[in-house]
Structure 1
Amino acid sequence: MSSDAPLLATTGIGKRYGQHVVLRDVGFQLHRGESVAVIGENGAGKSTFAKIITGVIRPDSGEMWLEGRPVSFRSPRDALRHGIAFIPQELAYVPYLTVGENIMLGQWPSWHGLTSHALTLRRAREASERIGIDLDVERLMVSLKLAERQIVEIVKALSRDARMIVLDEPTASLSEQESRTLFAILERLTGEGVGVIYISHRMDEVYRFSDRVDVFRNGELVASVPPSQTTPAELIAHMLGQEKEEFVHGTRTSTEQSVIELRDWKRAGIPNLAGVSLAVGQGEIVGVYGVRGSGAELVAEGLGGLHPEISGTLVVEGRSGAIFPTPVEARRANIAYVPPERKRDGLVLMLPIQANMSMLILRQLARIGVLRSRLERDQAADLARRFDVRFRRLGQAVGQLSGGNQQKVLLASRMAAQPRLLVLQEPTRGVDVGARVEIHKFLTEIADQGRAVLLVTSDLEEAVIVSDRLIIMRDGAIVGELRGPSKTQANAIALAAGSAA
């Protein structure tokens, strides 16, 4: 075995399900102390490849080598025995065991044949100290935030002498500060020679942390390049197999005619609202940005009828009234709300595409109380074309679609009722870069039709690019409004962080 052999190498890795080819002839290398970002559209094969190299699934073809030795993993436990750990999006842990017990799960130390709780906690503490993290090993896992649980998973992997860690979208649900903490830990690990592979949809992470970017498209590894030698536009072109046009908008001027006005919205508690007033004009996209706890999410949820406890006035097309007490009242006012958690709050995953698209307009599709199936199907087909939903058939369950296509179905279902105001909360969370660009274009087209759009997002790049006006919130209050040349990420961050001059 050569001392220069890669930590991990693969050649010819292939995987298919029936006639559907998921991976084709993938050759990959990872060296000790190297961090590789893996990007690609949903369905490109990223997660399948990650699961193959960590023993979750078996490849149909190809070979793998670990430091020059051929290997074949039968299970994740087998891969872990070889020093390869997988940290998926959906973390596996025992909620009512302690942090220390979860770290040492499966390898609890014993004393004279009896499990030693004290020794378990001590070894867990030693494992966390290795990466400079002061974990309270006696806390219950159920009490931890997601970011803390991810750190526990990393410590757990290191306690088993992992020399390679694979993470699937580790920051998808983390705040900016939590993401920075996670990457600081990963940087310490690569400094100690641990190899890191992480799947990401965030370009800023790719440029901030990775030594190399590998791009998957249609089951193939189509590009492998250091981030310093490429641009985001080039990476997107690799992902999509075409030159991607620059998508920059957010240049409309506000109209005199307001579709909606919020006046002096207040709410006690955490997060709070402290007298928020704003308006959205016809044909305008207004962005609302703030860090977690800023109150920005309450604005979207309040317009969706989810917070009747908010006080203040709501003016809809010139008619003044109270906050909507229910989502039904919001829809009656011609307002469509797109929630941030599509699987939990926006879609019924086991139902077909056409049923999800029509669920909010059943009365319009019925005659004397009977649903007109052909009309429902035609309506769904038209919406699917307009929003470029990729599917096998309209009767396909939404849960079988990729994240980007699920989000398009969600957006189409809300637009089916032809609302005057579209309120979106985190509309591109968990979708690939290609779907993200498409969704941004849909929002532009919706505004161009004369509809009002309120975009509440914690994605700063999205907030700056998409919005015509960008409202910044902090501690429940509006602290600034940006438009034109002043609408930059630097200005938005300064206002959100309270550091603006």
Structure 2
Amino acid sequence: MSLADRAPLLEAVGLSKWYGQHHVLREVDFRVHAGESVAVIGENGAGKSTFVKILAGAIRPDKGKLYLSRQSVSFGSPREALRLGIAFIPQELAYAPHLSAAENVVLGQWPSRAGITSRREMLRRAREELERIGLDLDLRRPMAELKLADRQIVEILKALARRARIIILDEPTAALTEAESEALFRVLKQLTAEGVAVIYISHRMDEVFRFSDRVDVLRNGALVASAPTAETDPSELIAHMLGQAAETFESTGIESSDEPPTLVLSHWTLDGVTRLQDVSVEVGKREVVGVFGVRGAGADLLAEGLAGRRPEIRGKVTIDGVTMPVFRNPRAAQRAGISYVPAERKKDGLILGLPIRHNLSLLILHRLARLGVVARGAERTTASTLISQFNIRCRSQHQPVGQLSGGNQQKVLLASRLANRPRVLVLNEPTRGVDIGARLEIHRRLREIAAAGTPILLVTSDVEEAVSVSDRLIILRDGVVVDELVGSRKTQGQALRGATGRASA
């Protein structure tokens, strides 16, 4: 019997939600069957998070019905939803950091005898769920000591310990490496094979097609498409998300040039757990050079070193023919003409409480000042120009940058770094946590920036991004350059094989 012929495990009919006059969810119908995986995609602001939070009991709908195994249900809280078998794993995980993984798995359900917690029984229960998914994890370690991927596994174990029949995940791979994402999806595939239904929000088209059975597209709060994944393609889904056909591109590399490279990293070396071993990289004018590796391979060290954040790295930097030691601090990097877009925009790149215009002008105040006083008219004009150039969607330049979507925050960050007129632009995970529409805009803008003469070093753990945007792709593994991909060799499969050490098929 096909899925279409079976009764859905969970069904939503006509879900709607308003916040004041803002209609964030519009008559959405949805269904998921036991053993099915459904991806929910859409631009930021499309209503995805509101929708899954209604399914998980975190938000009450203003209109519509929910049915679980054909029975009408209404959830007053995530606890009520969990009691009926629906578990929600948010992007920002909620856990007790100083308790062990095992304690978190059975949190609120600690086994006891005569009022005394039985740690042996607690560990046994947690191990039972761990064995169910076939993974090895030290359940005695505090959650604070586990890497993010392992914390997510613990959250899944917690859901299984409560006999969840439906697991909902909000962007589960946003901060994971390719290898960690693959491991997570292996677990989820095993669970769907056992009959668990999985619903997840994703911004990564490649994983949608690798894992999901069906994909639902939201736009402006409405369900605009729902199809078996095997019967659609990325271009069609992106067109549904944006309401128009999307421009896509695949970089094939620039023509070779006799010009000397603008940027040269020579013999970079760093000892430690995450290390670099005699790494040398060149970036030519009008070129995007990508650096790809799994977490811990050392790729991010190159970006941080060029930003002046890794003074312990040994080696040389040459910019426009001038050679110098690795930068000792960020100011030295900026003086040399480096503009750096960090991976953590909220923590390291933007001042969320300040208006957009102030964030855009932070690095160029010296150019906007007269006799030590910032010319506000010039600042407003500059902000207006950058907002237009980078298609930053906002109410006005006076709006606090923290109120923008992730994609628009990233555009503000990129625009502020370009306003500084750098000799070299260095980017670390430039599209992490942004929606697909903003991602395409940023990729297109990076190609335009490079074509206009600003060389780009792009460090990313997103293999699709690494391959599509770069002219040349450097592969790092364990701190060593193991390959350089150009032309027909620059494929996702080749990049992953080099980064992980897996033999070519």
Establish whether TM, by shorter chain, passes 0.5: yes
Cα offset for 1:115? 3.0
Aligned match of 1:14: 16
SS at match of 1:472: strand
**Aligned partners of 1:217 and 1:61: how far apart in 2?**
18
Cα offset for 1:246? 2.9
Aligned match of 1:155: 157
| Deviation readout 1:14-67 (Å, 9 max, x if unpaired) | 112222221111000011111101111111111110111101111111111111
Q: Are 1:442 and 2:445 counterparts?
A: yes
Structure 1, 490-499 or 448-457: larger mean CA deviation: 490-499
Which residue of 372, 380, 385 maps to 2:383? 380
Q: Are 1:45 and 2:47 counterparts?
A: yes
Are the counterparts in 2 of residues 215 and 238 from structure 1 also a CA contact under 8 Å? yes
Aligned match of 1:106: 108
- In structure 2, relative to structure 1, the CA distance for the partners of 1:125 and 1:393 (3 Å cut) is same
**Aligned partners of 1:140 and 1:264: how far apart in 2?**
38
Equivalences for residues 150-189 of structure 1 within 5 A: 150-189=152-191
**Aligned partners of 1:136 and 1:264: how far apart in 2?**
38
| Deviation readout 1:241-276 (Å, 9 max, x if unpaired) | 111133223431243132111111111112212112
Cα offset for 1:195? 0.8
* Structure 2 runs not aligned, ≥5 long: none
Aligned match of 1:467: 470
Aligned match of 1:203: 205
Aligned match of 1:350: 353
Are the counterparts in 1 of residues 206 and 464 from structure 2 also a CA contact under 8 Å? no
Cα offset for 1:490? 2.6
| Deviation readout 1:122-179 (Å, 9 max, x if unpaired) | 2223333333344433221112111111111111111111110100111111122221
Aligned match of 2:336: 333
Which residue of 207, 225, 228 maps to 2:227? 225
Cα offset for 1:293? 2.0
- In structure 2, relative to structure 1, the CA distance for the partners of 1:125 and 1:290 (3 Å cut) is closer
SS at match of 1:59: coil
SS at match of 2:427: strand
Are the counterparts in 1 of residues 340 and 425 from structure 2 also a CA contact under 8 Å? yes
**Aligned partners of 1:291 and 1:110: how far apart in 2?**
42
SS at match of 1:73: coil
Aligned match of 2:124: 122
**Aligned partners of 1:225 and 1:320: how far apart in 2?**
56
Aligned match of 2:242: 240
Aligned match of 2:35: 33
SS at match of 1:384: helix
| Deviation readout 1:311-346 (Å, 9 max, x if unpaired) | 111111111111111111111111101111111111
Equivalences for residues 85-100 of structure 1 within 5 A: 85-100=87-102
Q: Are 1:136 and 2:138 counterparts?
A: yes
**Aligned partners of 1:11 and 1:448: how far apart in 2?**
49
Aligned match of 1:313: 316
Aligned AA (2:452): Q
Structure 1, 123-132 or 8-17: larger mean CA deviation: 123-132
SS at match of 2:13: strand
Aligned length: 499
**Aligned partners of 1:464 and 1:114: how far apart in 2?**
56
Cα offset for 1:196? 0.6
Aligned match of 2:269: 266
- In structure 2, relative to structure 1, the CA distance for the partners of 1:131 and 1:309 (3 Å cut) is closer
Aligned match of 1:405: 408
Q: Are 1:414 and 2:424 counterparts?
A: no
Are the counterparts in 2 of residues 8 and 64 from structure 1 also a CA contact under 8 Å? yes
Are the counterparts in 1 of residues 102 and 140 from structure 2 also a CA contact under 8 Å? yes
**Aligned partners of 1:292 and 1:98: how far apart in 2?**
24
Cα offset for 1:499? 5.0
Give the share of equivalent positions with the same residue, in percent.
61
Aligned AA (1:470): L
Are the counterparts in 2 of residues 247 and 437 from structure 1 also a CA contact under 8 Å? no
**Aligned partners of 1:126 and 1:278: how far apart in 2?**
48
Aligned match of 1:283: 286
- In structure 2, relative to structure 1, the CA distance for the partners of 1:380 and 1:134 (3 Å cut) is same
Q: CA RMSD in A?
A: 1.6
Structure 1, 32-41 or 181-190: larger mean CA deviation: 181-190
Are the counterparts in 2 of residues 15 and 22 from structure 1 also a CA contact under 8 Å? yes
**Aligned partners of 1:460 and 1:53: how far apart in 2?**
32
Are the counterparts in 2 of residues 337 and 422 from structure 1 also a CA contact under 8 Å? yes
Equivalences for residues 78-89 of structure 1 within 5 A: 78-89=80-91
Structure 1, 98-107 or 482-491: larger mean CA deviation: 482-491
Cα offset for 1:310? 1.3
**Aligned partners of 1:135 and 1:154: how far apart in 2?**
13
Which residue of 296, 301, 304 maps to 1:301? 304
